[in-house]
Amino acid sequence: MIPRYTKPEMAAIWSDENRFKKMLNVEIFAAEAMSELGTVPEKAVETIKKKAKINVERINEIELTVKHDVISFLTAVVETTGPAGRFLHLGMTSSDVLDTATGAQLKQAAGLLIDETKKLAVIISGLAKKYKMTPVMGRTHGVHAEPMTFGLKVASWYCEIIRSLDRLNFALETVSYGKISGAVGTMAHLDPKVEKYVCKKMGLKPETVSTQIIPRDRHSIYFSTLAHLGSALERIATEIRHLQKTEVVEAEEPFIKGQKGSSAMPHKRNPIISENICGLARLLRGYAATAMENIALWHERDISHSSTERIMLPDASIISHYMLIRMQTLLSGLNVYPENMQANMDKTKDVIFSGTLLLSLVDKGMSREDA
């Protein structure tokens, strides 16, 4: 993702350094497990743990020749370990390393998103309580309907964010899986105890039945959840955009000293945070659709999913994190104008109470049609 929409906490999770570090952990834990089973010398494992280093530049340099990311990674690591490195990756396939490392990254990313969503929920809850008695015009189809309170409007946002939080927790559980089952998932050259050991060390669960990869329906849940979250944030942002219209001005984004709204019209104060969130939500929905396409692969695996995931996994996570922080900033500094809310209600006089009058007339005996 471009730096403009990237925060350091999430960027660190999806950095090459973190990815290769987790891949190395998978390899080391697998060697440890095999050592306990007596298939790898304990001394070799100790040497690997002591000497193994990650050099991203060297890995990338090797890949220019071999055209394979995991082979490049292993070659670079073995250069640092010496002969002991021959005990790495025994009986394993590339996806054992990649998918298990990705599961750990996804667990980290989902955890960070959960933390930021909780912070946002606290902010929204505070707004709902603050304005629980502030009357505002309820609108349907963009037209004045009946009075409500601004706090009630905000409470609806809160409930939706809590549902997003529930979905994020479910997504975290769904993606927190690894696999060390070999080329087509048969464990032909592996003891199942290796998978259990590695996954436990990585903070993951072993995939129930894997192919060469972890089935991509798990990943699709993660992307779908981010799309839901993005749409929930977009709903709030869309409302604020409407409320900030010149002819409405019931609420307004924070506008800091020195901020400019237009190069041509100096008077402008535009809802740029909300518009930014609305645009990024579209990307998240697009990623969710692509994630669905990645579920159906050929037989036990092809790599048609790989190219999309290299982009989508970091980008969707980084965008979602950025949107949450932007919304926190927006709502923490939201300007609310109760006097304008009252003035807008007054514009339609007492017509907004037509529903109450209708019920009163029916109660007195008039037909609903005549009333």
Active site residues: 141, 262
DSSP state string for 131-144:
TTT-EEEEEETTEE
Segment (H or E) for 252:
strand 251-252
Terminal-to-terminal C-alpha distance of the chain: 59
**CA neighbor of 310 nearest in space, from 19, 8, 9:** 19
- Alpha-carbon Rg for the chain, nearest whole angstrom, is 27
- CA–centroid distance for 339 within its chain: 38
Question: What is the rounded distance in angstroms from the CA atom of residue 206 to the CA atom of residue 197?
Answer: 9
Question: What is the rounded distance in angstroms from the CA atom of residue 319 to the CA atom of residue 332?
Answer: 20
- 256, with CB counted inside 10 A (0-12, 13-18, 19+), is exposed
Question: What is the rounded distance in angstroms from the CA atom of residue 113 to the CA atom of residue 230?
Answer: 12
Instruction: Name beta bridge partners: 251.
Output: 336
Tell me, what DSSP letter sits at residue 178? E
| Percentage helix, strand, coil for the chain under 3-state DSSP, each rounded to 5 | 65, 5, 30
Cα dist from 15 to 12, 21, 97, 214, whole Å? 5, 10, 16, 22
Q: What's the one-letter identity of residue 176?
A: S
Q: What is the largest CA-CA distance in the chain?
A: 96
**CA neighbor of 193 nearest in space, from 25, 35, 24, 22:** 35
Question: What is the rounded distance in angstroms from the CA atom of residue 98 to the CA atom of residue 70?
Answer: 8
